[in-house]
């Protein structure tokens, strides 16, 4: 057994766990399904990761740093290119969303599964608040600050509610449920993140502007 094989088994577990958890949620997946999907023994997941919940967390955290770094650098780039008033709402939202196209462009299915997993967690009353905050709050607060700067007249809570709307639209996109495909009879495809963001950016930007313009109390 070479080192390469070892890494590959560990990663195969993470990959298949990512896919299955994204599809069926934490409770909908068994360690045996994961093991069989990765072509390894049932006990190997426990050996590498400990309890089922630890594996779930490992999957959730694996790509988090990379994703956060990618979004943050997009934001920094927009800030560097802006004048001292800072980037526009559109530019901030663009920096928030476009890095997620990595899933589509890299052709790496793993990223798509990971993003669907985020959607599962973010929309879950059970996991949502805690897991999301732990991993994403620092980054999200950066974006909130940038949005506040772009909308200086915004009422304090309105920024959060608007962000919530954006986050919801994004979450449903990442979940890739196929619903829009059915509803639109094929005119739109769940898998087409780029098309989704092409609409979501002007949609959300207009929403932010409308709600946050001159409503300060």
Partner DNA sequence: GTCTATACCGTGATAGAC
Partner DNA sequence: GTCTATCACGGTATAGAC
* Among 48-56, 61-69, 76-84, 134-142, the segment contacting its own copies (CB under 8 A): 134-142
Tokens of 207: 């929403």
Shortest CB 142 distance to DNA, Å: 35
* Nearer CB in complex with DNA: 5/157: 5
Q: Give CA–CA dist 131/53, Å, rounded.
A: 12
Is 150 a binding residue for DNA by CB under 7 A? The answer is no
| Beta strand spans in 66-183 (E) | none
Q: Give CA–CA dist 34/160, Å, rounded.
A: 38
Question: What is the DSSP-derived secondary structure letter of residue 152?
Answer: T
* Nearer CB in complex with its own copies: 48/90: 90
Among 40, 45, 74, 204, binds its own copies (CB under 8 A): 204
Q: How far is CA 133 from the centre of its chain?
A: 13
Site for DNA in 1-60 (CB under 7 A): 1, 3, 5-6, 9-10, 29-33, 40-44, 46-48, 51-53
Q: Which of the choices DNA, its own copies, none does residue 178 contact, using the CB cut-off of 5 to 8 A by kind?
A: its own copies
Q: Give CA–CA dist 14/34, Å, rounded.
A: 9
* Among 67-75, 80-88, 145-153, 191-199, the segment contacting its own copies (CB under 8 A): 191-199
Q: 56 near 30, Cβ under 8 Å?
A: no
Q: How far is CA 22 from the centre of its chain?
A: 12
- Tokens 């997941």: give the residue: 45
Shortest CB 51 distance to DNA, Å: 4
Binding site for DNA (CB under 7 A): 1, 3, 5-6, 9-10, 29-33, 40-44, 46-48, 51-53
């Amino acid at each position: 057994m070479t080192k390469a094989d070892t890494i590959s088994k560990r990663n195969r577990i993470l990959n298949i766990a990512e896919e299955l958890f994204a599809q069926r949620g934490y409770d909908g997946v068994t360690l045996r399904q994961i093991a069989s999907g990765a072509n390894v023994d049932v006990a190997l997941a426990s050996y590498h990761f400990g309890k089922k919940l630890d594996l779930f967390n490992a999957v959730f955290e694996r790509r988090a740093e990379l994703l956060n770094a990618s979004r943050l650098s997009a934001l920094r780039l927009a800030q560097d290119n802006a004048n001292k008033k800072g980037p526009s709402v559109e530019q901030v939202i663009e920096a928030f969303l476009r890095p997620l196209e990595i899933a589509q462009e890299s052709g790496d299915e793993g990223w798509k599964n990971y993003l669907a997993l985020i959607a599962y967690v973010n929309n879950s009353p059970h996991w949502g608040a805690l897991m999301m905050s732990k991993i994403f709050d620092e980054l999200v607060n950066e974006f909130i600050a940038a949005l506040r700067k772009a909308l200086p007249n915004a009422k304090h809570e309105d920024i959060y509610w608007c962000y919530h709307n954006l986050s919801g639209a994004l979450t449903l996109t990442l979940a890739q449920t196929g619903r829009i495909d059915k509803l639109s009879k094929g005119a739109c495809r769940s898998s087409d993140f780029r098309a989704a963001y092409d609409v979501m950016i002007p949609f959300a930007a207009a929403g932010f502007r409308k709600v946050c313009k001159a409503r300060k109390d």
